[in-house]
C-alpha cells in the first residue's frame, strides 16, 4: 500500500526510484579531561584548517558559479577569526578540541537563527562545519553520498553545501530532506541541476533503504512504496535538449515567452530559453563590506548583456535589506524583517544605492545589443512604482516594470500599469504575504502551495489588468517551472514565464500540447476549485 508524505516542493520534476539515506555524521564522544591545553588547541586548529582547506578546494573545482560561491562563503565561515578565538577560550576553559569547536559553532548558529531570514537558512552551513571539524578531530571520515550501484533517490536530514555540490544527476534521481527550506542550499543547488526536490518532509527518514518512492518536486508529494512493475528501472521525467526555435507557444500558436532566471552570466544556458526574465543582481552585492562601485556594477551587468545579443533581459534591482542583510546597508534591528525595509524600500534609507545601480545598468545597456528592461522588487503602491519608473527613465532606461509580491500591488495592478510598462509576479513572496505564512516553514506547506485558489485569484487580477491596458504580465516565481502550473498561468492570461533554465524545455512541451482554449478552461476550473488538490486535478484532466 502506498503511503504519501508531504513537504515543500523546492525543485519541480517527478522521479521514481529506490530511496537511500545519507548516513549520519560522527557524534561527539563523552568529554575527557584536558591535560595539555596547547596540544588540544593545536588539534582543534588543525581540524578547522583542514575543513577550510577542503571546502575551499571544492569551491575552486566547482563548475557552477552558484555552487562555487556558496562553498566560498562556507570556507570563509570556517576561517573566521572569531571562531578560532572562541575555540581557544573554550579549550583553555577545559573543553576537549571537538567539544570546543562544537560549542562555539553552536553559539554562532544561535546568532544566525536569531537574525532570521536568509541568515537563519545559513545555520545549516555551521552544522556542517561542526560535523566536519568534529570528524577530523576524532580521526573519522564524514559519510559519503550513498552508492548502491544504480540511480537512486537521496534521503537526508539536510544537505551541506559540500554534499549538495557533489550531486550527480546521472546517479541521483531526486532529493528528499526532513529539514531545509525553499531558500536552503539544498534547494538552490538541486534546482541548478534540475533535480526534483522536496524539503521539510516529515517522515522522510523513516523510509527504509531500497524502498521505491515517487518524488514530485512541484507539489511536495512523496509516494512511498509506489507500485512498480517487476524489473522497472529507476527514472526521472526527462528534459530533452532543444534546438532551433526557442519560442514558447500553445498548440494553436498563441505565443508565450519562455525565459530564464539567472544570477550571472555563467548560469545562462543559451539554446534553452528566449532570454532572461529575472536577472538577480544580489550576487554582486553579497560579501561586500562596502557597496560595489558604479564601475564594478557596470562591468558585471555588461558581461551578462553581451552574452544575450538581441535577447530580452529583465534586471531586478537589488532585492536586499532586513531578511537579506548586507554589511554596507547597516540596517537597524527589525522585530519582523519580512514586513520591514527590504527590496525597493531600502531606497527609503539609502537612495544612493538604488541610483548608483540604475546608472550602472543604463551604462552597461548603452554599449550592448541586449534588450534591457529593469524592474523593482517589493513594489507596494502606485506612488512607489511611479517614483521608481521616473528614476529609471531619467537615467535612460525606457522600459520599466514592477514586481508583484505584495497583495496590495495585485489589487491595484491596473493603476500600477498606468505608470510602468510591465508586471512580473513573484509567486514565492506573493504566496507568503497572501497567507501570512513564512515560506521557510515546512509546517505551513499546505498554505504555501502555489495552487491555492486565493493565490490564483491574485495572479488572475494581474493578468486581467495587463489585458485591460495592453501591457505584458509575466511570472518569475519558481512555480512557473511546473509544466501543469504553466498551462494554468497561460490560461489566466500571463504572457511570459521565467524559471530555472533546466525547467524550460518541459514547460515548452506542456504548452505545445494544449490550445489556448484548453489552457483557459483549465484556469477557470482551477479558480473555481476549493483547494489546491482540486485545482491540480482540474488542470491535469
d(CA 103, CA 113): 15
Task: Report DSSP letters for 439-497, one per residue.
Answer: TT-GGGTTTT-TT-HHHHHHHHHHHHHHHHHT--EEE-SGGGGSHHHHHHHHHHT--EE
Q: Within 13 A of 295's CA, how many CA atoms are on the CB side?
A: 0
CB contact at 8 A, 101 and 133: yes
Residues 6+ apart with CB under 8 A from 4: 221, 222, 223, 224
Give the active site residue among 108, 185, 201, 392.
185
d(CA 178, CA 143): 18
Give the active site residue among 201, 311, 476, 519.
476
Distances 61 to 20, 388, 502 between C-alpha atoms, Å: 26, 40, 22
Q: What would you report as the CA-atom Rg of the chain, rounded to the nearest whole angstrom?
A: 24
Classified as helix, coil or strand, 424 is strand
d(CA 120, CA 438): 13
185 is catalytic: yes
CB contact at 8 A, 312 and 377: no
Distances 116 to 13, 162, 288, 407, 438 between C-alpha atoms, Å: 29, 23, 20, 23, 11
Distances 43 to 27, 96, 341, 482, 503 between C-alpha atoms, Å: 17, 9, 44, 49, 46
Q: Which residues participate in catalysis according to the annotation?
A: 185, 476
Amino acid at each position: 500500500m502506498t503511503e504519501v508524505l508531504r513537504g515543500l516542493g523546492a525543485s519541480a520534476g517527478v522521479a521514481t526510484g529506490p530511496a537511500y539515506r545519507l548516513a549520519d555524521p560522527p557524534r561527539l564522544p563523552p568529554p575527557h579531561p584536558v591535560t595539555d591545553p596547547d596540544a588540544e588547541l593545536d588539534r582543534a586548529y588543525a581540524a578547522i584548517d583542514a575543513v577550510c582547506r577542503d571546502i575551499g578546494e571544492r569551491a575552486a573545482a566547482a563548475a557552477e558559479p552558484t555552487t562555487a560561491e556558496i562553498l566560498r562563503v562556507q570556507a570563509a565561515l570556517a576561517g573566521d577569526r572569531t571562531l578560532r578565538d572562541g575555540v581557544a577560550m573554550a579549550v583553555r576553559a577545559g573543553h576537549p578540541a571537538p567539544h570546543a569547536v562544537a560549542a562555539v559553532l553552536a553559539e554562532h548558529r544561535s546568532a544566525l537563527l536569531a537574525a532570521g531570514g536568509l541568515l537563519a537558512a545559513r545555520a545549516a552551513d555551521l552544522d556542517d562545519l561542526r560535523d566536519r571539524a568534529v570528524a577530523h578531530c576524532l580521526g573519522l571520515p564524514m559519510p559519503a553520498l550513498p552508492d548502491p550501484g544504480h540511480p537512486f533517490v537521496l534521503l537526508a536530514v539536510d544537505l551541506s553545501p559540500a554534499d549538495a555540490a557533489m550531486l550527480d544527476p546521472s546517479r541521483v534521481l531526486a532529493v528528499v530532506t526532513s529539514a531545509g527550506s525553499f531558500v536552503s542550499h539544498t534547494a538552490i543547488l538541486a534546482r541548478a541541476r534540475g533535480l526534483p526536490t522536496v524539503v521539510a518532509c516529515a517522515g522522510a527518514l523513516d523510509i527504509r533503504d531500497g524502498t521505491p518512492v515517487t518524488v514530485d518536486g512541484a507539489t511536495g508529494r512523496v509516494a512511498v512504496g509506489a507500485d512498480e512493475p517487476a524489473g522497472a528501472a529507476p527514472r526521472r521525467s526527462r528534459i530533452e535538449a532543444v534546438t532551433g526555435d526557442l519560442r514558447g507557444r500553445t498548440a494553436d500558436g498563441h505565443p508565450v515567452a519562455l525565459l530564464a532566471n539567472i544570477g550571472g552570466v555563467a548560469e545562462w544556458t543559451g539554446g534553452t530559453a528566449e532570454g532572461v526574465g529575472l536577472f538577480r543582481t544580489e550576487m554582486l552585492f553579497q560579501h561586500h563590506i562596502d557597496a560595489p562601485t558604479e564601475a564594478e556594477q557596470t562591468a558585471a551587468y555588461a558581461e551578462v548583456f553581451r552574452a544575450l545579443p538581441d535577447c530580452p533581459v529583465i534586471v531586478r534591482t537589488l532585492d536586499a535589506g532586513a531578511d537579506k542583510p548586507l554589511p554596507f546597508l547597516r540596517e537597524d534591528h527589525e522585530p519582523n524583517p519580512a514586513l520591514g525595509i527590504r527590496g525597493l524600500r531600502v531606497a527609503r534609507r539609502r537612495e544612493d544605492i538604488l541610483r548608483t545601480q540604475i546608472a550602472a545598468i543604463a551604462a552597461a545597456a548603452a554599449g550592448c545589443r541586449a534588450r534591457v528592461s529593469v524592474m523593482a522588487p517589493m513594489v507596494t503602491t502606485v506612488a512607489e512604482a511611479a517614483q521608481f519608473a521616473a528614476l529609471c527613465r531619467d537615467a535612460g532606461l525606457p522600459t520599466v516594470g514592477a514586481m508583484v509580491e505584495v497583495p496590495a500591488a495585485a489589487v491595484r495592478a491596473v493603476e500600477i500599469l498606468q505608470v510602468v510598462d510591465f508586471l512580473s509576479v513573484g509567486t514565492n513572496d506573493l504566496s507568503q504575504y497572501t497567507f501570512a505564512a513564512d515560506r521557510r516553514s515546512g509546517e505551513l506547506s499546505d498554505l504555501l502551495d502555489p495552487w491555492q485558489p486565493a493565490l490564483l485569484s491574485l495572479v488572475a487580477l494581474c493578468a486581467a489588468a495587463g489585458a485591460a491596458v495592453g501591457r505584458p504580465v509575466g511570472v518569475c516565481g519558481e512555480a512557473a517551472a511546473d509544466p501543469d502550473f504553466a498551462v494554468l498561468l497561460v490560461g489566466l492570461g500571463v504572457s511570459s514565464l521565467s524559471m530555472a533554465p533546466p525547467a524550460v524545455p518541459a514547460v515548452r512541451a506542456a504548452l505545445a500540447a494544449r490550445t489556448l482554449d484548453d489552457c483557459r478552461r483549465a484556469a477557470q476550473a482551477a479558480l473555481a476549485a476549493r483547494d489546491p488538490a482540486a485545482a491540480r486535478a482540474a488542470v491535469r484532466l
